[in-house]
Structure 1
Amino acid sequence: MKTSILQQATEMWNGDREPTSIVEPTMTHAEEVADGVLMVPGFGHAFAIRHADGLALFDTGLALFADGLHKQVTEWDSGPVTHAVYSHGHVDHVGGLGRFDADAEAQGRPRPVVVAHENVLARFRRYAETQGYNTVINRRQFRSPDLVWPAEFRQPDITFAETHVIEVGGLRLELTHHRGETDDHVVGWLPEKRVLFPGDLFLGVAPNAGNPQKVQRYPVDWAVALRWMASLDAELMLGSHGIPVVGAGRVREALENTAHYLETLVDQTIACLNDGATLVETLHRVRVPDELTALHYLQPLYDEPEFVVRNVWRQFAGWYDGNPAHLKPAPDEELASEIAALSGGAQMLADRALELAHAGSHRLACHLAQLAGDAAPDDTAVHTARAEVYALRAVQERSTMSTGIFTWAEAESRGVIAGTDTMTELASTARPR
């Protein structure tokens, strides 16, 4: 028997269901979660809103799931899609319009009017210019060896800077721009239904405000946006990831606690900066308060507080980390070779790395394993140890970011051992951890 999405939301809030990631695997079917509002779960959720002249979409999901989105929406309501909103330009929010565009062209009517923030245009250009880079980092982040980053996107028809209102068929959908996970983020608000669409500004897990491989995030602005959303007194919050939040009190609590989470990371990091601390010192000094770490919707299952600290540092202090040796560093291989020579060889470093890893000192073990691999890039014995160190590290991690990077590092060494490239090895070893 299927459990309704809203029932799952209640169970999650009451502590009867554990969060697993930004994608809730038990949400597998579309459901009308409010009068005239359909939720279509996916890696990025999409929402259809009924009005007198057809439907409006808020987010459209991945291109990979576009056919499923079209099927579920049209089975619910076969009316024309008149508008679609991109909460922001990430590919899991902008890929699902192809079938709806084709329907419009086949029936001789206008395609859906796509509305987005004006910075989406620059994002799409950047994605095309850095397609290779984005392919590599997203393969690594999601452990998906066959992923190819798109270079072409359905462009918006209307862009705006601060606010925009869609009024059609008796529907009023208010859109407001906020910087947070991205610089092109849009929040949707249905004032008559008191339904809030925060996009990725509320994920159901710790905010994605640090992502090590992506461009600048904006934790300060994000917290401001969260407190503004809390002031709306929404009765239902439908994020584009995770589980809905039901009830005005719970919505307000979730938004305000998430704001507090970001604010404390920002405040502590800036305090460290003002004290003259280095980046590494700062990373080890900043802590999330215990009362926040216990909340189910602030678990570090996708991003981590440590990475948010780095993004705050990058925003306020630039890239210099306070270690003068890092200002103009030697090549990694030269430094590693010198340390290996002083230590009795790369294998000595590798062996010590394994000892530390098995003793639970994973951070230090990774430093030594990396030095060993850099000093002996073709040594299979060294890379056997390096692979084991990173494998042990990966199973200790909870976040998508960390497990993706450490698993990739493991695969690099297994590729050296097998005489294959990283992608081949990643494809053969990629597995849930």
Structure 2
Amino acid sequence: MTRRSGHDPWPPDDTAADRGFVAALSPARITHADGQVVWDSDAYAFLDTPDCPDTVHPGLWRQSQLCAKQGLYEVTEGVYQVRNLDLANMTLIEGTDGVIVVDPLISAETAAAALALYRAHRGERPVTAVIYTHSHTDHCGGAGGVLPDGAGDVPVIAPSGFAEHLVSENVYAGPAMSRRASYMYGILLDESPTGQVGCGLGMAVSKGTITFIPPTRDVTRTGQEEVIDGVRLVFQLTPDTEAPAEMNFLLPERRALCMAENATHTMHNVLTLRGAEIRDARLWARYLDEALHLFAPEADVAFASHHWPTWETDAIAEFLTAQRDLYAYLHDQTLRLTNKGLTGTEIAEQVRLPPSLEAIRSVRGYYGSVSHNVKAIYQRYMGWYDGNPAHLWEHPPVDLARRYVADYGGSAAVTARAREYAAQGDLRFAATLLNHAVFAEPDCVEAREALASVYERLGQGAENATWRNIYLTGALELICRPAPVPLHSRMATALTVDQILDTMAVRVDGPRAWDEHLVLDLRVTDEQQTWRLTLSHGALTHRSTPPGHPPAGDAHATLTLTRLQLLALANGAQEDISTQGDPGALRRLLGLLDTPDPHFDIVTP
């Protein structure tokens, strides 16, 4: 991850990135109803200069210049994309009566602006369908901006398992993932040559209203065909690739192939740095191979949910071949060395891509990295434990740090030694020592400033945008703690009763609930079902029963309510709910629910 000297050796991709340009949004500044800036493409005007500053890796500078190109683009006849009005692209496929929207961005505000830009140049076509290519928020959160009145009769199509995985990833561990995402995407950094210069996959994540309109139609198999608004689509189901639920599709009559996020112009993450399920690099490679042989010969253009398209059948085949070989190589070499007894961190130091792959810009590590991906593949197979007994039961970070610092002779001695390592260019060990110093004595200004300086150097030398953002955000929070960015999300309103109850279960303070035993029945009127909640041994479990089959045995209390009233209760709102039995049972349960901390410390204890 050290910075390469000289200039970026890859030829410009402007021809592909500029091809089909129709118009830009000007000014490209989108706001929330409360005036908060949701998106600002114009903030990246500093990238217009061709000369890369010393504070940014040349390869990342060039990637950010390409990602910063903004506006409406024609992909092929009847297929358009709006790029750089959010982290992802919105694709628009023109049909007989209207337009099919593919991946409506993160926020309702940016999605509405993207659709308006399209309509300003292609006419007031109604939205006749929405397609979610996979279960990540940047591809569905803006649905309310293109369907402000909900789905109604408009089909909403997604891969099988979409809603389940979306909720699992964004709700159950949502607070922790959101906090880590603020590091990964550099949300707290200013847009500048010394701050955030993009994410490698796009420029940034929007900060608007996250909505969710559930799918109404599932894609369940490869080869499934759908005719939507007169447009024929042939789907390829690709579970456990870039997302647990994902799909590619071909538009046969337009010879256009959508690769979702399975093949973009960067190496991707096998495990995203904000946290998620580990992807299966082996399956990822196999599905890319399947797409290569199933669809590539039938396509004149391949486009994705990020970056710019690839045109010409032979170029598409080369592009998909490189992406396939990338994930296959990482997977197979990690397992080869695992079976020779190396651990994940050791393998990450040994594996490098073949020179023939390293020379291809579209697999460079602007978003994912060889080091992180190798460790993720190892973790998928072997878990966090590397087999060494010394690592089986280590002290937690603060206790470990205090022992290291004491043995070194105190925080001042550790800091001085770390400065020596940094001066010699060993920033990685300098960061390790200074991290111990900060965790042992978090109020030590000298240690915090020294660690911030090391993080800045590591970040400015990183070709990988997310590594840069993480290091620079860590440096920022060591010196000052910026105010958190307010979030606007309506995703929870689409949760099922089971999902709402699951979110309550992961909030139960187990030790405080050890000696409590509660049984509550929830009669959810709009679902016409009853759910029984049981709190036992500190665990909250639930099961549903169909109408006419009440749960067996007595409950401490029976509540009659709607799904949205249940959601309000789970979020701490006081609701006037009909209760039979012990009125204190619900209060006791709610009193045992912990409140997540969305702004927990990361670089300090």
TM-score by length of 1: 0.87
- Provide, for residues 109-159 of structure 1, a one-character-per-residue CA deviation record: whole Å limited to 9, x for no partner: 945311111222112322223331122011111111398797752211112
Question: Equivalents in 1 of 2:457, 2:333: separation in Å?
Answer: 31
Give the one of 251, 259, 269 matched to 1:208.
269
Question: Equivalents in 1 of 2:91, 2:415: separation in Å?
Answer: 51
Give the one of 169, 178, 188 matched to 1:135.
178
Residue of structure 2 equivalent to 1:56: 100
Question: Equivalents in 2 of 1:414, 1:155: separation in Å?
Answer: 42
Residue of structure 2 equivalent to 1:157: 216
Change (3 A) 1:119 1:151: farther
AA aligned opposite 1:62: I
Deviation at 1:248, TM superposition (A): 0.7
Residue of structure 2 equivalent to 1:47: 91
Q: Retained in 1: the 8 A contact 2:96–2:230?
A: yes
Residue of structure 1 equivalent to 2:600: none
Q: Retained in 1: the 8 A contact 2:160–2:245?
A: yes
Change (3 A) 1:132 1:18: closer
Deviation at 1:207, TM superposition (A): 2.1
Q: Secondary structure at the match of 1:300?
A: coil
Moved more, 189-198 or 22-31: 22-31
Question: Equivalents in 2 of 1:230, 1:342: separation in Å?
Answer: 57
Is the helix fraction higher in 1 or 2? 1
Question: Equivalents in 1 of 2:254, 2:425: separation in Å?
Answer: 52
Change (3 A) 1:137 1:7: closer
Q: Secondary structure at the match of 1:40?
A: strand
Deviation at 1:395, TM superposition (A): 1.1
AA aligned opposite 1:74: R
Backbone CA RMSD of aligned residues: 2.6
Residue of structure 1 equivalent to 2:143: 97
Residue of structure 2 equivalent to 1:428: none
Whether 2:232 is the aligned partner of 1:172: answer yes
AA aligned opposite 2:231: L
Residue of structure 2 equivalent to 1:431: none
Unaligned runs of 5+ in 2: 1-12, 21-57, 190-205, 486-605
Q: Secondary structure at the match of 2:275?
A: coil
- Provide, for residues 229-267 of structure 1, a one-character-per-residue CA deviation record: whole Å limited to 9, x for no partner: 211222101111112111111110011011111111111
Change (3 A) 1:149 1:171: closer
Question: Equivalents in 1 of 2:396, 2:146: separation in Å?
Answer: 51
Residue of structure 2 equivalent to 1:78: 124
Residue of structure 2 equivalent to 1:391: 456
Question: Equivalents in 2 of 1:30, 1:117: separation in Å?
Answer: 26
AA aligned opposite 2:101: L
Q: Secondary structure at the match of 2:443?
A: coil
Q: Retained in 1: the 8 A contact 2:160–2:219?
A: yes
Whether 2:147 is the aligned partner of 1:87: answer no
Residue of structure 2 equivalent to 1:119: 161
Q: Secondary structure at the match of 2:233?
A: strand
Q: Retained in 2: the 8 A contact 1:39–1:45?
A: yes
Q: Secondary structure at the match of 1:302?
A: coil
Question: Equivalents in 2 of 1:327, 1:125: separation in Å?
Answer: 32
Larger Rg: 2
Whether 2:363 is the aligned partner of 1:298: answer yes
Residue of structure 2 equivalent to 1:339: 404
- Provide, for residues 343-396 of structure 1, a one-character-per-residue CA deviation record: whole Å limited to 9, x for no partner: 121222222222222322122111111111112111111111111111111111
Give the one of 319, 324, 328 matched to 2:389.
324
Give the one of 368, 372, 375 matched to 2:437.
372
Whether 2:219 is the aligned partner of 1:219: answer no
Q: Retained in 2: the 8 A contact 1:303–1:399?
A: yes
Residue of structure 1 equivalent to 2:603: none
Give the one of 30, 35, 51 matched to 2:77.
35
Question: Equivalents in 1 of 2:439, 2:365: separation in Å?
Answer: 30
Deviation at 1:7, TM superposition (A): 6.2
Unaligned runs of 5+ in 1: 11-16, 425-433
Question: Equivalents in 2 of 1:196, 1:141: separation in Å?
Answer: 30
Whether 2:113 is the aligned partner of 1:68: answer yes
Change (3 A) 1:200 1:21: farther
Q: Retained in 2: the 8 A contact 1:18–1:296?
A: no
AA aligned opposite 2:176: Y
Question: Equivalents in 1 of 2:336, 2:475: separation in Å?
Answer: 36
Whether 2:246 is the aligned partner of 1:185: answer yes
Q: Retained in 1: the 8 A contact 2:19–2:73?
A: no
Residue of structure 2 equivalent to 1:229: 291
- Provide, for residues 384-413 of structure 1, a one-character-per-residue CA deviation record: whole Å limited to 9, x for no partner: 111111111111112122122212321232
Deviation at 1:8, TM superposition (A): 3.2
Deviation at 1:61, TM superposition (A): 1.6
Q: Secondary structure at the match of 1:275?
A: coil
- Provide, for residues 86-126 of structure 1, a one-character-per-residue CA deviation record: whole Å limited to 9, x for no partner: 11121211133324323x77xxx945311111222112322
Q: Percent identity?
A: 23
Whether 2:330 is the aligned partner of 1:265: answer yes
Residue of structure 1 equivalent to 2:308: 243
Q: Retained in 1: the 8 A contact 2:143–2:212?
A: no
Question: Equivalents in 2 of 1:116, 1:366: separation in Å?
Answer: 43
Q: Retained in 2: the 8 A contact 1:135–1:149?
A: no
Deviation at 1:162, TM superposition (A): 2.2
Residue of structure 2 equivalent to 1:382: 447
Change (3 A) 1:81 1:151: closer
Q: Secondary structure at the match of 2:257?
A: strand
Residue of structure 1 equivalent to 2:258: 197
Change (3 A) 1:33 1:160: closer
Deviation at 1:219, TM superposition (A): 1.1
Question: Equivalents in 1 of 2:325, 2:303: separation in Å?
Answer: 20
Question: Equivalents in 1 of 2:75, 2:482: separation in Å?
Answer: 46
Q: Retained in 2: the 8 A contact 1:351–1:385?
A: no
